[in-house]
Every structure is written in structure tokens, then in C-alpha cells.
Amino acid sequence: MAISDGDDLFEIRKEGKLNSGIYTAYSGLKAHSDALEITANNLANINTTGFKADKSFNVFLRESVNDSGYPAEIGRTVNMAVRADRRIDYSDGTILSTGRNLDVAIRGDGFLTVQTPRGERYTRNGNMHLDANSTLRTADGNPVLGVSGRPITLGPGEINISDNGNVYLDGEEVDRLRVVVFQNNSQVEKEGESLFFSRDGATPTLRTDMVVRSGYLEQANVNAVKAMVDMIGIMRQFESIQRSVTHEMNDMNAKVIDRLGRA
């Protein structure tokens, strides 16, 4: 049986298609499967510059109809489904020295603003380069925007980026990196390729007190050891629930066979 989410389980349970034990167990399997996927994705991006890990947590859903024959309090507990949700961990990753003037790492809150075919996007990946037209771009080729709202364009010469994000060419200020913050980080979602976008049209504000480290890149804030331990724990819990489902189904089949035999 394919289980998509807790609400589907609720409808199945309400219609009497699953008894309470199966209902609860299947929701647990789905939640642990989702948590395993989140943890695996974190590990897969451990070498992705500026990657922010996802944290999984369980959310208990509404209870189903208590027709299980259990006392009310037990029935409410048995009939409760669970779902794995995710939240982005915005804590700083460690920074690695590269010695390149066009590599930057932002400390604390904030995102670089870039232009994409889909509109403005935000990133923590400060690995930048100049294209043939001397436009500053990210590693994925997206133009980096300055506080002027336009892509930063530089000419030949020595480029330096100060701790407050000012971009200099041969000692003269050309522009400033447009580093923005959101009132609430829940207004931001991942898009992939180290890019973020604003939800529901949320407008970020320019950060004026940022600290930018030139010649460094921010590493993924994934703790590999903890992620591996979490993955092992999730897999063991999944297997435990799976065994309970098998036991429940075998017990159910035995009861059906017994009743049919007597009939």
C-alpha cells in the first residue's frame, strides 16, 4: 500500500480500511522514510559550498475516529499519526581559505543576491569569477548583484573585496555586494544548486553590518559523524516498525482464518 501523507492515512483509517495498529505503524514508516531521505541528502551535499543542512522532526497529526474498542485515552494515542517535517539549519559552516580574491564567505545571517532567468535568487556560495565581459558571476554562471541592483561589472586590474562587502578595482570602489536578510528565515526555501528563493513574495532587506571574508569559502554545515549516527538510528527504528507491521498482519490473518474456519 502506498502511503503519501498523514491526511491520506486519516481518511483510510476513518473508512475502516485499517485497524489502529496498522494505521499508526504505516504513518511511522512514512515518517522514518522521509527522515532517512533528508539525512541522506545532507550527507550527499557535505562538499557543496554554502550548503545548509535540513533537520527533520516529527509532527503528530490529528487523531482518527476512535472505533477501535480501546478506552478513550488509549484510543487517542493509538490512532495518532506522525509525519516527518523539515527545517533548514542556517547556522554558519566552517570557512576554508582559498587565497582567491573573488571567493567570499558571509558570517552570520545573510545571502548574496544573484540574477537568474527565474528572477532574483539568494545564495551562500561565494565562489565567484569574471566572465568574458568582466561581469561577476557565481560558479553556476548567475550574475552577482550589487547594491545598485545591477550585476557587478569590473574591468582589468586588481580586485579586492573588503570585510563590509565593498568591491574595489585597483583601489577604487566600484560597487558593493548586495547581501540581504529576511525578517524570518521561514520566508526562504531551497531551490537547488545552492540557491534560495523567497516565499509568498517576501521582500528581504539590505544588510549593512555584514562581515564578508574575502579569500574564504563557507563549507556545508553538515556534521558527517552525527548524520551517520542519525541515519543508523532511523534505519533501526524503521526496521523495528516494519517488524511490528508484519506481526500485526500475521495476527490479523490468523484471526480471519480462525473465524472463516469456524463459519
Indicate whether 175 belongs to any domain.
yes
pLDDT per residue as tens digits for the range 209-228: 889 999 999 999 999 999 99
In a shared domain, residues 186 and 106 = yes
What's the pLDDT band for 40 if we cut at 50, 70, 90?
A: very high
**R_g (Cα) of the chain, nearest Å:** 26
Q: Are residues 56 and 167 in the same domain?
A: no
69-98 pLDDT, tens digit each:
444 554 555 556 666 678 899 999 999 999
Query: What is the extent of the structural domain holding 197?
Result: 95-218
- Tell me the pTM: 0.75
Check the CA dihedral 66-68-73-77 and report its sign. negative
In a domain, residue 1? The reply is no
19 and 131 co-located in one domain? no
Residues 118 and 208 in one domain: yes
- Cα distances from 112 to residues 32, 181, 198, 204, in angstroms, run 34, 9, 13, 11
Which pLDDT belongs to residue 3? 44
**Spatial separation of the C-alpha atoms in residues 53 and 83, rounded to whole Å:** 19
Q: What is the number of structural domains in the chain?
A: 2
The CA distance from 183 to 185, in Å, is 7
pLDDT higher than 70, residue 177: yes
10 has a pLDDT exceeding 50: no
